[in-house]
Structure 1
Amino acid sequence: MIEEIKKGSIWRKWDLHIHTPNTHLNNKYNCSYKEIAEKIIEEEIEVIGVTNYFIVEENEITELKKYLPNETLVLANFEFRTNDKNKSGEYINSHVLFNLDKVSISQILESLSRIPLNNIADDNTQYCTIENIKKYGADNITISFDDLRKQLERDFSIWNDFLMVGVNNGYGGFHPDNKPRNIQLAKKMDKCSNLIFGRASDRNFFLNLEGPRKDFFKLPKPVFVCSDAHSLNTIGSEFTWVKADKTFEGLRQTIFEPQERTRIQENNPKYDYEKPYFSLINFKEDEQIFKDDSDLIFCESTKTLPLNPNLVTIIGGRGEGKSMLSEYISSSFYGKTGNKIGEFNKTEKIEVEYSKTILNDDEKILFPLGENEHSVDFIYISQGDLKSKVESQDKKSLLADSISKLAKLEKPEFDNDLNKLILSSIKELQELEQFLKINENKIDYLKKEEKKTNEFISNITTEENKEKLEQYSSNLEKIKNNTSKSTELKSLTIYLNDIVTSINEKINEVNEEVNLIPLLTEEQNIFKNQLEAINNWLNKIFKEISDLTDKNNKIKESFNEVYKGDLSTLLKDVDKFQTVLLTIREKISKVTQKNKRFENLKKIIFISEKDKESLINKIKSQYSLQKTKLEQDWNNFTDFEKNDDLNDAQKEIMENLLQDLSVEVVIEFNESSFYEKIYHCINGAVWRVKNNLKAQKEYFEINDIDSFYDFLENKFLEVCESNNGLDTERLTKLFFDSNEQKDYINVYPILKYDGKDLNKISVGQKGTVYLKLKLATEAFSKPIIFDQPEDDLDNEFIMNNLINLFKELKKYRQVIIVTHNANLVINADAEQVIVATNDKGKLKYLSGSLENELINKKICQILEGGELAFEKRRRKYKIQ
């Protein structure tokens, strides 16, 4: 029981309308009080209202309590029939629930004895006493609702001593038809009732979620479904789940938070949402907190501190140890650091229990807090953490990175294949340019050499030997071409066979243990057709070379018959000049191709055409694509309506978190970083502007992304050709390698809050933005521990958003906050309040619910939330 009290507000079954065997009407009991108590225990009902018509007698309470556990709360429920009739002509019922810790049955009966009875056949005024109820019959008499209310308010304190309960449906319900009188009567009964007995279908109406009630009454009211048991079997047939202590004050909490504190359903609402949570802190022995300070310890007198799976608040005065507890625990897990000065001392005298799921109490892990860190995924925001992340303008890029990570915006990456293509194309262009600059590679020079060689051949050729020499030269050229081709084909054969060998080696690696994949054999060679074709071609070439050689041999023989000079020298000269001519012609062809490739490559790199985009434009497009991708990622992140995993309430939470946030994605050119890199491309001995930034800027004329693109398209080649003291290779890499561009071109999101850049809003608003994103990323899963959010957040956000946000989020995740803000504790309706105290260096922790009297007093003593918070506190708890 003590552990339950420490855990704060938890869900329990309440039935506030159970009659006893002494009921004055419709008694269907044929059993003892003991059997009724056993049935209540069997049905796990922990709060009951002992009910009777007009008068509940003392023995009805005492007899039932005799057999119930001491922890069961028993309230007295007096059921009255009033003079007013409903649409069916039935007398309207009204109930009064009395707090028996404040008033006794005898005091209640004395008060009721001053209220006149109606509808009795007696000339003398008779009053509401047990004797008269028995004398005239409970089914025959009524009382005035106004008389009842006025008398009780004279004798007792409404809220503290009793609560009025209206009945909406069933016998004696005030639910009206369309007649004006009945509507007005229903409004009166609603207004005068603190809570409602009704059906599950009435809940949304009285919560102002549907129907016209909200037009007349701003305050919603809780609806309690009860068994109205008049027999043993009906006990437990209907009940209401209530999240509160088993006290009259716990009942009052349902009036302040009717939607969140009550549920009408079969299963425990605790299990409505799957979530992991920290479930226990165990103080086994005194634990010195810091290694170098023996004056501060966690005191073992706290013993066990069970934790509520919903909203847990840790409060305390300055230096009382509220933040110390959260940071000490959080720092025992990987990746969670705080800002305490000093090294924590951890010798496993404190343990933390973590429940993997709320659905299974056996799925728990107990972590001793020692030197080793543990692995649990939760969010920890230490004191001042939000502020430190957002307040410095120097951290602009870090903030952008943090925002991207939170919103799951993937960091844009330049297309690696495109980067390789650009670099290889530029390198090829520069190599071609260097090649074509060499005199021996110029077409004009080669044409002259060709002409000169032809003249040499003409000079040794006569009319008599011309035809044969030309044929001989032609055959030589064909032999050389065929020989060259045969070399190519042999190389291709080796290459294809190497591929097959490589494949077999890979298969052998995979088949290391089990030979499941067969190797490629000669018959299975995937290049079998190609190799056969190559072999046939080689045979054809070899035959052609042989034939041409035979032909030239015959030409030599025929020359012997007609040529009288030195035939050997003549043929050698022809062979020599023919070889030179062939080489020149090959070079002319090669240079012509390279010229063509050079011009074509310039187009590919620099000039876009209708159906073809230049590589420079592809660089632009690549950054535009990165920008579009980030924008699309943001849209996907914020388009929670398409997320089928979220229910309507969760989607509303996401909308509240993200409604003020937007993203502008920018392509930023960092001029200073760019010129810092330019500096390293300049040879200061040749070009004396190395240390003159102004001169560099005037020369390159690059100051933003557009002028950068313009330089690439129109000036880069010219600058490289000028040879003006620049390291061309380094310059090329600087301009075209995406790995270099990363240092001066960045695509990143700029987060905006309510349309404003973060550098134009306050630090508190920045913290608000960061928290919204952090919560939105994993709003419905892992626990969050937040140390003093009020220090880092905009106060308006705390009042208008954060309180309601925590009220919603706690359904889906455990929220633990350390705070000195009264609103976060009271108005967020914390299920558990942990009060930290420092008793001469011994840190101790007291725990309970908001409705717990001792905790309530501590809240009022400790929390200095300003006049508004005190006003809300008084209104909520009726503290004068």
Structure 2
Amino acid sequence: MKGSVWNKWELHIHSPYTHQNNQFAGNLELYAQKIINSNIKLIGVTNYFYFEDNELENIKNAIKSQNGEVTVLGNLEFRISQKNKDGEWINIHCIFSEKLKTGEINRVISTLPLVNTTPDEKTIYCSKDSLSAASTKLEHVVIDFTALIKHLNSHLKFGVDYLIAGCPNGYGGFRPNTGEGRSLAIANEIERKCQILLARPQDREYFLNTNRYEKAIAKPVFYCSDAHKIEDIGKSYSWVKAKPTFEGLRQAIIEPDLRVQQNDFFIENTYIKPKFKTIKLGGRIFDGEDLRFDDQAIELNPNLIAIIGGRGTGKSLFLNAMNSHFNHSNTAKKTSVANVQIELDKGNGDIVEFNSRENEYSYLHVSQGDVQKFSENSNGLSNEIKKMLRISESDIDLITSQEISSNIGKYRDFVNFQEEVDHNSNRINKPEYQEAIIEANKKLIETLTNPQNKTLIEQYQENQQKINKKTEYIELAKQIVFAINKSISDINAQILNLNSNSETKQKAESINGNATLETIEKNIALCIGELDILRKTNDEITSEFIKQGINQDVSSLLSKIEEHQQLIDRAQTKLSEIKQKDEKYRRNVNDRNEFAHAYHRHIKKQKEIIDSAFLKLKEEKETWSAEQNQLVREILTDIHIEGKISFDLVKFYSGLEDCLNKGKFRSTIDKSTRQRLEELFAVSNFDSYINLLSGHKQITIDGKEITLEDFLWKGEFFNKGGRFELLNYLYSPLSVKSYLQANANFKYKDKTVDKLSAGQRGTFYVCLKLATDPFGSPFVFDQPEDDLDNEFIMKQLVPLFRKIKKYRQVIIVTHNANLVVNTDAEQVIVANNTGDKIKYTSGAVEDGDIRTNTGIRAQICNILEGGSHAFEKRERKYGIQELT
């Protein structure tokens, strides 16, 4: 059974058997047809003081003959001896259980003495025969209210067989003149004896208000037609969320605000909310095990569903089957979903069927252990808070990240350049090394020069220098041509990809570097032409040696000069390269210092995003009703969240140690490795970390403070490659976020996380979970009482569920009676394990009888500890006799 659902009820409707003002013309068939067509599911067939013989049974049969499903309760209307402010006899009603037949009710009432007596002062009783014998007209009859209740209690069971309804308005209404004390006192006294009000929609708030008089309790208002003719049937009615039975009526008395509405425009009838409609289960639950679901389809209530059962009966397996059907990333042991089918009502009547594990649907599911898992780990809880606030994990921006990566790569290249050696392990990229080459080769050229050949050698040397420069230029130009062609190809591929993006409105043109390439190619050609001229000139110089009759091995001489000049030119080129590298290195260091400020801005921004997200969460939403906004405010009452920069010193120094030569930082008798590292780097918080990265003189060696850059060149502190590891560790976004992040810090009831119990952390987690997603998809919670404070459950979770279920479907597994009874669960699903098969039965809280140990009501008491007490306490509050 789907449990408690909304249906139309009419508690005050007369019939073709009514004794007075009967305008039905005796048409019982048309009467039954109009009730059925009005879609009314429960009627209170009303007559004055007593029923006609078999009145209720005849009406039931007439409805049944037309295949109608309508519950018929008896409703006797009495005039009592008190008068209202207008001098009219006040009317009250007695509504009887459907279990009582017409004859049983009439027999009980027939021995009730009337206030009226015969002329000779003999007693007249409330029956057709007694009134006839006394020649007393029905319209003149009155009874004593106190005597009526006493009489009913001596023959029937209050709250089980009958309830009293009052009529505050209209003819015979008891509504007082609030300015007149005696009238008000009489009205309040009458109302105290009534459990139900047959009144107008505008009376609802008054009778729900517990401040209307001392010790007043909320009472349901039923809007009724008081129909005396066919045409009036269905014009006035109430919506009631309960099984259409007398027991359902009792439930409406206990939950007058949640269970009864007086018009069509209430939240649950108009608010569009997605909800699971049906779940079909069957087949083996775990691979390799015999345990199975019984093949069944369970209709689900759109409001609050409580799944109960003894230990090992499979109550959590119900939710696990749903979870594994949608949550494919769940690493826990999964239920088999081969035979699980779920129907989802989108809220507007559109039905989506999920028949396979390929389904995707996002809903709020809190499994067993989720609360504990997140509440025990503060960092994990911080990340979960950010997810709930819809703050995605954000690294430093991509461009800066790429610049950092490029910067570190350039630094590595520079170090490798600096450390390049010759066969004698001399650093070849030092200025003094290249200057020595230049000086040595100049001297060698001088040794080959004499007064006779000096002029020709100088000419040859000058030409060779030009040849070397042009050769280098041609090589450089060719490299640039290759680089341009490759870059253009890569960029054009990206442009093509961008143009294919659906968001591109105007396609970008491909890059064409032909003009640049043509210019470079022309310069190469010019250089080649000039090289030919220079080489010819040198050939002429060689010929001139011979013409002048210089007695030398000209070929060897010029070859040596050419070789020495080449070495000189290369060294000079290398000096230029060293100078450029040094300049780039210094710029690179300055850029890296700026990255520290980029991290500072980034982490501050992340903190502000958290602060802003929480403030936005607390803002009123224009699209929500006043009740919805108030509900979220109540959830957030004890919660405060703010961003906080978290710099984890333990993780920072642990990672730092791995980048260094540990032999230099071994612990001593006086100091640990950590202490020695702290003394060296002087990083104690976020600000000192930023100072270190931005080039402040903060590292202390031998009493002298130096910068991080200076420290990187002290090779004794590093193993091979260690300096690069350190640089990467301090600047790379992936490494940095292992010890530096903006956390979502919170307080609950003005207590920081370290001062909260696990239950209080769990309570905070659930509150925020609901506040960040209060009115959306279904909310599924497996055994909330396992991880939450009992005080929170009773004082906050129960009232919260009572309110929030109007706006979203709530499904819980629980062994706490209060979470079933006091939340007024619309549907209770009971799990049962026969040994190898899991089966579920379902119904409403009002189903069954504790006395006969039948139905859902009895199972709640049998399964849940404190179930009977929960029912008893609630029913006593509303003055209804306990069902024991």
Instruction: Report the TM-score, using the length of structure 2 for normalisation.
Output: 0.77
1:389: which partner in 2?
A: 373
Whether the aligned pair in 1 keeps the contact of 2:614 and 2:642 (CA below 8 Å) is: no
- Report the Cα offset of residue 701 of structure 1: 3.7
SS at match of 1:740: helix
The one-letter amino acid paired with 1:817 is: I
- After the TM superposition, which residues 596-675 of structure 1 pair with which residues of structure 2 at under 5 Å, given as runs? 597=584, 599-606=586-593, 614-636=594-616, 638-639=617-618, 641-642=620-621, 644-675=622-653
1:96: which partner in 2?
A: 94
- Report the Cα offset of residue 128 of structure 1: 4.9
2:204: which partner in 1?
A: 203
* 1:453-496 Cα distance to aligned partner (Å, 9 max, x none): 999999999xxxx9999999999999998997787777766766
Structure 2 unaligned runs (5+)?
420-425, 700-707
Check if 1:794 corresponds to 2:789.
yes
Whether the aligned pair in 1 keeps the contact of 2:114 and 2:125 (CA below 8 Å) is: yes
1:360: which partner in 2?
A: 349
In structure 2, C-alpha distance between the alignment counterparts of 1:61 and 1:197, rounded to whole Å: 21
Change (3 A) 1:479 1:86: farther
* 1:413-432 Cα distance to aligned partner (Å, 9 max, x none): 23332233234445546766
Whether the aligned pair in 1 keeps the contact of 2:208 and 2:256 (CA below 8 Å) is: yes
Whether the aligned pair in 1 keeps the contact of 2:111 and 2:125 (CA below 8 Å) is: no
Change (3 A) 1:667 1:65: same
In structure 1, C-alpha distance between the alignment counterparts of 2:868 and 2:844, rounded to whole Å: 23
- Report the Cα offset of residue 17 of structure 1: 1.3
Identity %: 32
- After the TM superposition, which residues 45-194 of structure 1 pair with which residues of structure 2 at under 5 Å, given as runs? 45-69=40-64, 71-82=69-80, 86=84, 90-102=88-100, 104-116=104-116, 128-130=126-128, 132=131, 142-143=142-143, 145=145, 148-149=148-149, 151-153=151-153, 156-177=156-177, 179-181=179-181, 182-194=183-195
Change (3 A) 1:389 1:145: same
Change (3 A) 1:121 1:446: farther
- After the TM superposition, which residues 229-268 of structure 1 pair with which residues of structure 2 at under 5 Å, given as runs? 229-266=227-264
SS at match of 1:790: helix
* 1:632-671 Cα distance to aligned partner (Å, 9 max, x none): 34444x33523x4543333333333333233344433344
- Report the Cα offset of residue 717 of structure 1: 1.7
Of 691, 694, 700, the match for 2:681: 700
Change (3 A) 1:185 1:338: farther
Of 392, 405, 416, the match for 1:410: 392
1:861: which partner in 2?
A: 862
Whether the aligned pair in 2 keeps the contact of 1:820 and 1:865 (CA below 8 Å) is: no
In structure 2, C-alpha distance between the alignment counterparts of 1:851 and 1:264, rounded to whole Å: 21
- Report the Cα offset of residue 245 of structure 1: 1.9
* 1:13-67 Cα distance to aligned partner (Å, 9 max, x none): 1111111234344333235111101111111212111123344333432332220
In structure 2, C-alpha distance between the alignment counterparts of 1:541 and 1:345, rounded to whole Å: 77
* 1:64-90 Cα distance to aligned partner (Å, 9 max, x none): 222012852222222334455556665
Check if 1:765 corresponds to 2:765.
no
Of 685, 690, 715, the match for 1:723: 715
Change (3 A) 1:675 1:541: same
SS at match of 1:187: helix
Change (3 A) 1:527 1:72: same
In structure 2, C-alpha distance between the alignment counterparts of 1:739 and 1:222, rounded to whole Å: 62
The one-letter amino acid paired with 2:27 is: S
- Report the Cα offset of residue 827 of structure 1: 0.9
- Report the Cα offset of residue 599 of structure 1: 4.9
- After the TM superposition, which residues 265-414 of structure 1 pair with which residues of structure 2 at under 5 Å, given as runs? 265-266=263-264, 269=268, 272-277=271-276, 279-281=278-280, 305-323=298-316, 326-327=319-320, 334-335=327-328, 353-357=342-346, 359-360=348-349, 363-364=352-353, 377-383=362-368, 385-386=369-370, 388-390=372-374, 392=376, 395-414=377-396
SS at match of 1:38: helix
In structure 2, C-alpha distance between the alignment counterparts of 1:186 and 1:318, rounded to whole Å: 51
- After the TM superposition, which residues 473-484 of structure 1 pair with which residues of structure 2 at under 5 Å, given as runs? none
1:810: which partner in 2?
A: 805
In structure 2, C-alpha distance between the alignment counterparts of 1:293 and 1:474, rounded to whole Å: 93
Q: Which moved more, 1:158-167 or 1:570-579?
A: 570-579
Change (3 A) 1:105 1:725: closer
Change (3 A) 1:519 1:147: closer
1:225: which partner in 2?
A: 223
- Report the Cα offset of residue 503 of structure 1: 7.1
In structure 2, C-alpha distance between the alignment counterparts of 1:633 and 1:273, rounded to whole Å: 26
The one-letter amino acid paired with 2:748 is: Y
Whether the aligned pair in 1 keeps the contact of 2:495 and 2:508 (CA below 8 Å) is: no
Change (3 A) 1:136 1:648: same
Whether the aligned pair in 2 keeps the contact of 1:493 and 1:531 (CA below 8 Å) is: yes
* 1:738-794 Cα distance to aligned partner (Å, 9 max, x none): 222233334333343223233422222233233333444444344444443322221
In structure 2, C-alpha distance between the alignment counterparts of 1:673 and 1:258, rounded to whole Å: 58
Whether the aligned pair in 2 keeps the contact of 1:435 and 1:441 (CA below 8 Å) is: yes
In structure 1, C-alpha distance between the alignment counterparts of 2:661 and 2:238, rounded to whole Å: 85
The one-letter amino acid paired with 1:639 is: K
Whether the aligned pair in 2 keeps the contact of 1:275 and 1:812 (CA below 8 Å) is: no
Instruction: Report the TM-score, using the length of structure 1 for normalisation.
Output: 0.77
In structure 2, C-alpha distance between the alignment counterparts of 1:520 and 1:24, rounded to whole Å: 89
1:611: which partner in 2?
A: none
Change (3 A) 1:468 1:338: closer
Whether the aligned pair in 1 keeps the contact of 2:375 and 2:381 (CA below 8 Å) is: no
Whether the aligned pair in 2 keeps the contact of 1:281 and 1:307 (CA below 8 Å) is: no
In structure 2, C-alpha distance between the alignment counterparts of 1:625 and 1:411, rounded to whole Å: 13
SS at match of 1:114: strand
* 1:399-438 Cα distance to aligned partner (Å, 9 max, x none): 4434433443322323332233234445546766887899
- After the TM superposition, which residues 11-30 of structure 1 pair with which residues of structure 2 at under 5 Å, given as runs? 11-30=6-25
In structure 2, C-alpha distance between the alignment counterparts of 1:245 and 1:37, rounded to whole Å: 20
SS at match of 1:724: helix
Whether the aligned pair in 2 keeps the contact of 1:19 and 1:50 (CA below 8 Å) is: yes
- Report the Cα offset of residue 582 of structure 1: 8.5
The one-letter amino acid paired with 2:13 is: I
In structure 2, C-alpha distance between the alignment counterparts of 1:186 and 1:779, rounded to whole Å: 42
Change (3 A) 1:706 1:358: closer
Whether the aligned pair in 1 keeps the contact of 2:499 and 2:507 (CA below 8 Å) is: no
1:609: which partner in 2?
A: none
